[in-house]
Amino acid sequence: MSEQVIIVGGGVIGLGIGFELVRRGTPTTIFERDRAGRATSYQAAGMLAPDAEIEFEELELYDFNRESLRRWPDFAERVEAASGKSVDYRDEGTLIVADDRDAAEALGRLYDFQQEQGLNVEWLTGEEAREIEPFVAPRLSAAVYAPSDHQVDNRRLVDALRTAFRTDGGTLHEDTPVEAVVPDANTPAVRTAGGERVTGDRVVVAAGVWSRDLDGWTPDTTPPVRPVKGQMIQMRRKRPFDLQHVVRGPEAYLAPKSDGRIVMGATSEEMGFDTTVTAGGLYDLLEGGWEVVPGIRDLPVDETWAGLRPASRDHAPLLGRTSAPGLVMATGHYRHGILLTPITAEEIARLVHTGETSDWLRPFSPQRFSEAKSSTPSA
């Protein structure tokens, strides 16, 4: 059992793990280079959408996503109770809509696959979709209703987690960048940019897309994460316009939050660490959003930004022990980091606390790429 845990990175993943550890009575310190919760976790849309985002080749990840969604209501309740703050968990469901014949065909294929997998989804005509959500476009040809795909307000979530972690006894050092990890089986450590060496019983690296930038990794242990840029536009609800469900069109999604924000996203671009908001990116989003919810035309825009999704080589997360002694990894959550917060936080906390890897974590071992390489017979 770990006596003292150090976490590098105070995003939703680092804060979530920290929260679950301090609840179990494990002294935990998070080092965050800026203010906790202000990087990718702040820039997301907050959708908890395993059914809408199911990919044909990613069934193992789907089960993991689904299990995390199942744990969300309890997790939200715990975080809210510990912090006294709402995370705005909303369960109205998601409408996936098609705006022309090609999109309807693609949606039909997705729906067939969802049905084969036994998902709780319903095929709707455009008219039926408008009965559920009156502000979707009158000319929509078809829709799939996914009532189990929910959402939270990710900005409120990180704020609540930050409070909950500290209220329950965690130590949070903000404005404190970690420069290096120092592997060691018994007393792994981190070295801060200020030159201080801090040891623990376990070090958890949860620095999102920046996890690979730390000194101290070897070529074999470096987290294989890369940034995938997503541009977003935030509008304000203005009556009579209203939206209750998450609406996903072929080119854009819209997630309405209870405080009146409507978050619309997102591009998906391989641009390294560039976070420029571009005219082309905004144009694509506005056009894609307007096609499916034309009423956004009159809404005030109050923010635009670009975030960086931490993507691994196979787009599944990197969770568990690394081959660097004493170092545990929790990153690579790509498009699903908010959805995957409860299961990541609980299962990594359990691993650190008991030393045992659960069946849930096994498929997502950070060592899977080097294991695959070493088991390939040489030519």
Closest separation in Å from C-beta 357 to ligand GLY: 27
Question: DSSP labels for 263-292?
Answer: EEE---B--TT-----HHHHHHHHHHHHHH
Q: Which does 11 bind (CB under 5 to 8 A by kind): ligand GLY, ligand FAD, none?
A: ligand FAD
CB of 153 to ligand FAD, least distance (A): 11
List, in sequence order, every residue forming a beta bridge with 29; answer none if it has no partner.
Answer: 6, 171
Site for ligand GLY contains 248 (CB under 6 A)? no
Q: Which residues contact 141 (CB under 8 A, 6 or more apart)?
A: 98, 99, 100, 101, 103, 104, 126
152 binds ligand GLY (CB under 6 A): no
- Regarding 188 and contact with ligand FAD (CB under 6 A), the answer is no
List, edge to edge, every strand of the sheet that includes 178-182.
Answer: 178-182, 189-192, 197-199
CA 131 to chain CA centroid, nearest Å? 31
Considering only residues 125-184, where is the footprint of ligand FAD by CB under 6 A?
177-178
The distance of closest approach from Cβ of residue 324 to ligand GLY in the complex, given in angstroms and rounded to an integer, is 29
Query: Alpha helices, DSSP H only, in 117-239?
Result: 126-132, 154-167
| 265 lies in the binding site for ligand GLY (CB under 6 A) | yes
Least distance (Å) from ligand FAD to the CB of residue 228? 7
Which residue among 210, 217, 241, 364 contacts ligand FAD (CB under 6 A)?
210
- Taking the least distance from each CB to ligand GLY, the nearer of 110 and 324 is 110
Selected range binding ligand FAD among 32-40, 100-108, 197-205, 346-354, rule: CB under 6 A: 32-40
Binding to ligand FAD in span 316-375, by CB under 6 A: 331, 333-339
Token couple for 242 = 């209203």
Q: Give me the amino acid identity at 75.
A: F
User: Of 309, 321, 350, 368, which lies in the binding site for ligand FAD, with binding defined by CB under 6 A?
Assistant: 309
Q: Is 12 in the site for ligand FAD (CB under 6 A)?
A: yes
CA–CA distance, 164 with 22 (Å, rounded to integer) = 10
Report if residue 309 touches ligand GLY, rule: CB under 6 A.
Answer: yes
* 265 in contact with ligand FAD (CB under 6 A): yes
Residue 267 DSSP label: -
Q: Which residues contact 114 (CB under 8 A, 6 or more apart)?
A: 51, 54, 121, 144, 146
The per-residue DSSP string of 154-167 comes to HHHHHHHHHHHHHH
The interface partner of residue 34, options being ligand FAD, ligand GLY, none and the CB cut-off 5 to 8 Å by kind, is ligand FAD
**With left for phi above 0 and alpha for psi between -120 and 50, is residue 11 left, alpha or beta?**
beta
> By the criterion CB under 6 A, which residues form the site for ligand FAD?
8-14, 31-34, 39-41, 43-47, 177-178, 206-208, 210, 214, 230, 232, 265-266, 307-310, 331, 333-339
